Structure 1
Amino acid sequence: MNVDDSLDAPLVDMPINPAPGDCMPTMLAAGRVAPIVKIKYYDGTAWDVCDMDLARSVLADRRLSKDIALTPDWMRVPGEFTGSQPSAEVARAMVMSDGPEHTRIRNLHARIFTPRNTETWATGLAPLAEELLDGLAAEAAAGDGEVNLVEGYTHPIPRGSICKMIGLPPGMHAELKRVTDDIIYSPDLAVRGRGIGALVAAVTGWANDPSPLQEGVMTALLDAVDGEAAVTINEVVTWTVGLVMAGYESTASLIASAMLEALRKPAGQRPGSEAEIEAWIEETLRVHPPFPHATWRFATEDLDLGGHLIPKGAAVQINVAAVNRCPHGELADDFDPSTALGHLSFGVGRHYCLGAPLARLEAKIALTAFLSRYPNARLSDTTDVSWESGWLTRRISVLPVVLAGVGSP
């Protein structure tokens, strides 16, 4: 179809700022309106791709660029994710770059995110999981038998992993949690902006004086500052901040959602073998993508996408929540790991998530340890599961569970 014959995408409502509650029904409803819809986003308009085939096209189409320099001014809202990125002149992150710069940054990160390093970063997570499970048992025994797995289990595991990966000593873990919670889930843009500033300031301090750091990604990046890759201090800061935001929160959401789906099933229908656990995690990624929208792309020219006009300069995202379900008909909303329906939660192609193997491994360790220790645990009969969500992020904030079975009080 010629661009001149393209249709204007319909306008739909969509939550932008994070808030208590679950955005998933709204995300899925948008996908049932049209393959591409428009969203009012702050003072501008965003195009939202809700169809699997079109999403794959977007991910491969170089006319839809991730270059941060193309971000329209109306998107640069203090405290908002894209607006929190520095200008292109300061530093480009892997997630918001394209072309030779993206290749340079990705190749450098690929040397760090090796299978060997992934296994090294995961070392200690199984003992950490057991320690946390002991703590849950003590908490349950001291109270009414009910615990919130989010606070006591699903978040501390990936937080421990990301801190070890970056090289942060244990004393810094609590502050990292507070700041990232403000940045990702505060409904107040001013609070989010201050959180971003605090995190950037902290990482900048470590870059200028890495003596508090342990060996990890940040020290490896700092070692590259004077090397062949021509890495700058500003890039080290920007990339480390990005790793904290993307690596910790998304995996915590994945683990909590996988636990929720397991606890919804009778004990005999929960995953037990390694293969079952791995399939469970993939189905969780499909049904509960931690980031319900992918990161931004910008049209470098007028183009036709699925019969709809995407004008030059348009801000485009993929509605991963809808895309993961759209091609599967009546099976779309079922949680059934045996179907192996597939998903785009980690993307595809040149921007595929480098941290995907680590996220899968962390989720596997967490789910295996909990179900082994508490095979008969169940969801609370008196406290509801609670969600926090928005345009870019979605997580369980309260996962109330009554422990039972082996190892319980």
Structure 2
Amino acid sequence: MNVDDLLDAPHVDVPTVPAPVDCMPSLLAVGQVAPVVKVDYYGGTAWDVCDMGLARMALADRRLSKDVELTPDWMRVPGVMLGAQPRAEVARAMVMSEGSEHARIRSVHARIFTPRNTEKWAVRLTQLAEELLNELAAEAAGGGEVNLVERYTYPIPLNFLCEVLGLPPKMHAIMRRATDDIIYSPDQATRAGGVGALAHAVAEWADDPSPLNEGVITGLLEAIDGDEAITVNEVVAWTVGLVMAGYESTASLISSAMFEALSRPADRRPRTEAEIEAWIEETLRVHPPFPHATWRFATEDLDLGGYLIPQGAPVQINVAAANRYRHGELADDFDPGASRDHVSFGLGHHYCLGAPLARVEARVALSAFLSHFPTARLSETTAVGWESEWMTRRIKVLPVVLAEHRLAQPGHGRRDQHG
């Protein structure tokens, strides 16, 4: 490889600070500039991969490492997403580790996110959906308008994850406030404080697990003296990671799937299990909850599609642009029947371990809502509100007029109603 023959990626401006706006237009505009671009990020420069073909190559290339020790000093900003990662000597997280350490951590988590557990959890998710939807029945009778984010799309994954972790109900609101501060506060001090508060809370539970119910946290604590040599610091770091990524991204996915459904007439919404599944996949493509994949670092000079990625460079995959661009052409319409692929859960050895569970949560939530409220619609007076930055994106306000409510009968789900 002759470095002098490679292209220098053009410099673009991308919003990196959380704000009550939708970042998607900016991220897609970047994809029109070049397949690889450079972006200013907290005083340094990052390389952003926007083309689907190159994104797939980058996600699978082991020379783009996720080892947290490769993070340049200028990126270690308290309160930003990478700054929320612990130092390597304290604890390694699955998302920012490689080699034997990544394999060890992934093995521990894989015993939690098993197909058997996912099947079992689907039953509990259905129960949670029914409980929340029946609570909305009184408001539906009066034709009331609700923010579905606060009443449904966030409570389902939050309540579920807290149950899986073993957190009593009184702790659910604490988790929601902490993750909101960490991910979406525009104030760095608030974000850093949120990370510290969440880690401190988990550390206290590790020291005294008596307030916890039996769940993932108690299971990890019991394994500290086991064969995997899990440390208390790892239990803290992994729990914080599960809280931050385990429900926030799923809640965003559910909200976006609901938004796309309620934007259409009732007869154009998904009905069968197959249609629901295709709807969720298209939502993942068009509305990835994390518009950028987590960081990678070049371990040597790389040729990526004719562009130079210099050794040590921080690299991001612009999932939002890659999902919609195919060989320079924009596939911007929401079309579940087109069966287009996406990289919203990544690829290769860092493919999202929780992807099957996230899909189940989204399918259950969407199916149950459309079954209960077949004539629900978006508000005509209150706007849908987005909140985002270049790594995270969600709907914060999803105003819905519930209209008719159909009480579910025991044993009669969407499959029974629609064949």
Which residue of 1 is the match for residue 226 of structure 2? 227
Q: Sequence identity, in percent?
A: 73
1:124 positional shift: 2.3
Which residue of 2 is the match for residue 368 of structure 1? 367
Which residue of 1 is the match for residue 10 of structure 2? 10
Question: Within the alignment, does 1:190 sit opposite 2:189 as a pair?
Answer: yes
Contact 1:9 1:38 survives alignment (8 Å) = yes
Cα distance in structure 2, aligned partners of 1:344 and 1:230:
33
Cα distance in structure 1, aligned partners of 2:46 and 2:329:
29
1:208 positional shift: 1.2
| Correspondence 1:259-270 to 2 at 5 A | 259-270=258-269
Aligned length: 407
| Correspondence 1:1-400 to 2 at 5 A | 2-140=2-140, 145-327=144-326, 332-400=331-399
Contact 1:66 1:298 survives alignment (8 Å) = yes
1:329 positional shift: 6.7
Q: Give the letter aligned to residue 17 of structure 2.
A: N
TM-score by length of 2: 0.95
Cα distance in structure 2, aligned partners of 1:278 and 1:29:
29
Q: Give the letter aligned to residue 322 of structure 1.
A: A
1:328 positional shift: 7.3
Contact 1:2 1:304 survives alignment (8 Å) = no
Structure 2 unmatched ranges of 5 or more: 408-419
Structure 1 unmatched ranges of 5 or more: none
* CA offsets 1:279-334 (integer angstroms, 9 cap, x no match): 10000000000000000000111111111111111000100000001117766111
Q: Give the letter aligned to residue 40 of structure 1.
A: D
CA RMSD of aligned residues (A): 1.4
Q: Give the letter aligned to residue 288 of structure 2.
A: P
* CA offsets 1:12-70 (integer angstroms, 9 cap, x no match): 11111111010000000001100000000011000000011111111111111000000
Q: Give the letter aligned to residue 22 of structure 1.
A: D
Cα distance in structure 2, aligned partners of 1:162 and 1:15:
30
Q: 1:328 to 1:6 in 2, by over 3 A?
A: closer
TM-score by length of 1: 0.97
Which residue of 1 is the match for residue 410 of structure 2? none
1:276 positional shift: 0.6
SS in 1 for 2:7: coil
Cα distance in structure 1, aligned partners of 2:73 and 2:335:
43
Cα distance in structure 2, aligned partners of 1:302 and 1:328:
24
Contact 1:122 1:161 survives alignment (8 Å) = no
SS in 1 for 2:247: helix
